[in-house]
Structure 1
Amino acid sequence: MGISRYLESRKNIAGSACGLVGLVLTFTGVAGPYWPVVVAGLYGAGALIAPPERPPLPEFPDPSAQLGELRGDFEKLSGYLADADLPPEARDLLARLDELLSALLDPGWAAELLAQDPEGLHVLARAVRQDVPEAVDTFVRTRWWTRLTPGQEPPELHLERQLTLVQDELKLLATALRETEARRQESHTRYLEDRGRDR
């Protein structure tokens, strides 16, 4: 800790306050000839009982900023998928997945709900940044080895299964967001009904 930081610290402030009490005792004659020891002792006691310094909380991006970054990553993912050589069935699955991701990432009501749902935001980020690119990359690499050693299980089956699982997870997220809005609507209806009965 630097000198300037120590001078502004709680320990120094508490110690100085107690040291001032020692000076008051000195001027009133209570401390006697041992006043330096009394002042130093009180300063030390004040510094010891002061609460410890608390480090500042780290600043993390707020959910709306995280969604903005995620939209940028989704654009990168879309460019990557456009260049990948994939079978027609996987392309169809990716088109449906792309539509679902676009709807969830679209600025608007979904983004507002996701900003209040860290777990949902995590599911969405994992799909964009990990699950989909890893599924496609693993397929591309496995297909190359399968061509060298024919007779193995087709890697297309795994890719289609993986993309279907990601899509199912995102559908559950979309359903949960829809149910949140439905509960909000029902709550507002009950509020209006209760208000009408109170008249």
Structure 2
Amino acid sequence: MAYLESRKNLAGSAGGLAGLVLTFTGVAGAYWPVVVAGLYGAGALIAPPERPDPPDFPDPSAQLAEVRADFERLEAYLSGVDLPDAAAGRLGELTGLLSALLDPDWAPEILARDPEAVHALSRAVRQDVPEAVDTFVRTRWWARLAPGQEPPERHLEHQLDLLGAEALRLVESVGEEERQRQRTLSQYLKDRSE
């Protein structure tokens, strides 16, 4: 059935119809079956090959929805982890930034235009934050067995500071894009009024 709708069959059928026209006008003569078959074959051979459909990857909006769902699971995990006050404060600031970026009413169309931002959010939610917290929890247990080591809280706070700075850069990038859109619209309206 797929061949019947293919480009090769359609081009061959057009060639075969041309052969029938030649037959009915008397040009093909007694060799009309060979002419019709030959024109069908020629049409099928010169037709462009079928192109496979490109893969259907999810668009950034769908990816953002998945990251939002993962962020909810991350928040549930983080609510059950006992952290020192300083680290808990830094983690609260970071999750607040991530929550604002993932807010469906605030920036979905802006982020959907920037696959790098979607990737950065996905990496932060799915890998960086859970790994930093989980590593702290496991290292804290070992630090209790061997006191005198560098406290794992210090590493966690440093990691959260770095992740927070990365999230702030992402917020600034998204904000700059919106400011640029506003400047462009102002310039367009100014040019239009002149």
TM range (shorter): 0.7 to 0.9
Partners of 1:146 and 1:86 in 2: how far apart? Answer: 15
Partners of 2:146 and 2:26 in 1: how far apart? Answer: 98
| Alignment pair present for 1:179 and 2:179 | no
Partners of 1:195 and 1:39 in 2: how far apart? Answer: 61
Matches within 5 A, 1:19-30: 19-30=16-27
Matches within 5 A, 1:135-150: 135-150=132-147
Partner deviation per Cα, 1:120-145 (whole Å, 9 max, x = no partner): 12111111111111222222233334
1:102 match: 99
| Alignment pair present for 1:18 and 2:19 | no
Of the structure 1 ranges 112-121 and 137-146, higher mean CA displacement relative to structure 2 is found in: 137-146
Partners of 2:12 and 2:191 in 1: how far apart? Answer: 59
1:124 match: 121
Matches within 5 A, 1:23-172: 23-172=20-169
Q: What secondary structure sits across from 2:88 in the alignment? A: helix
Matched-pair identity in %: 68
Tell me, which stretches of 5 or more residues in structure 1 are unaligned? none
Partners of 2:78 and 2:87 in 1: how far apart? Answer: 11
User: 1:133 is aligned with what amino acid?
Assistant: P
Tell me, which stretches of 5 or more residues in structure 2 are unaligned? none
Alignment size in residue pairs: 194
Partners of 2:134 and 2:29 in 1: how far apart? Answer: 82
Aligned-pair Cα RMSD in Å:
2.2
- CA deviation after TM superposition for structure 1 residue 152, in Å: 4.1
- CA deviation after TM superposition for structure 1 residue 192, in Å: 4.1
Partner deviation per Cα, 1:143-163 (whole Å, 9 max, x = no partner): 334444555443333322222
Partner deviation per Cα, 1:34-60 (whole Å, 9 max, x = no partner): 333322222122111111212233334
Partners of 2:53 and 2:174 in 1: how far apart? Answer: 34
> Quick one: structure 1 residues 43 and 93, their matched pair in 2 at CA, closer, same or farther if it must change by over 3 Å?
same
- CA deviation after TM superposition for structure 1 residue 164, in Å: 1.5
> Quick one: structure 1 residues 192 and 41, their matched pair in 2 at CA, closer, same or farther if it must change by over 3 Å?
closer
TM-score after normalising by structure 2: 0.86
> Quick one: structure 1 residues 26 and 158, their matched pair in 2 at CA, closer, same or farther if it must change by over 3 Å?
same
Partners of 2:185 and 2:36 in 1: how far apart? Answer: 65
Partner deviation per Cα, 1:61-113 (whole Å, 9 max, x = no partner): 33333322222111110001111232322211111111111111123342232
Q: What secondary structure sits across from 1:61 in the alignment? A: coil
User: 1:22 is aligned with what amino acid?
Assistant: G
Partners of 2:97 and 2:25 in 1: how far apart? Answer: 79
Q: Report if the CA contact (8 A) 2:100-2:106 is conserved.
A: no
> Quick one: structure 1 residues 45 and 142, their matched pair in 2 at CA, closer, same or farther if it must change by over 3 Å?
farther
Partners of 1:90 and 1:119 in 2: how far apart? Answer: 27
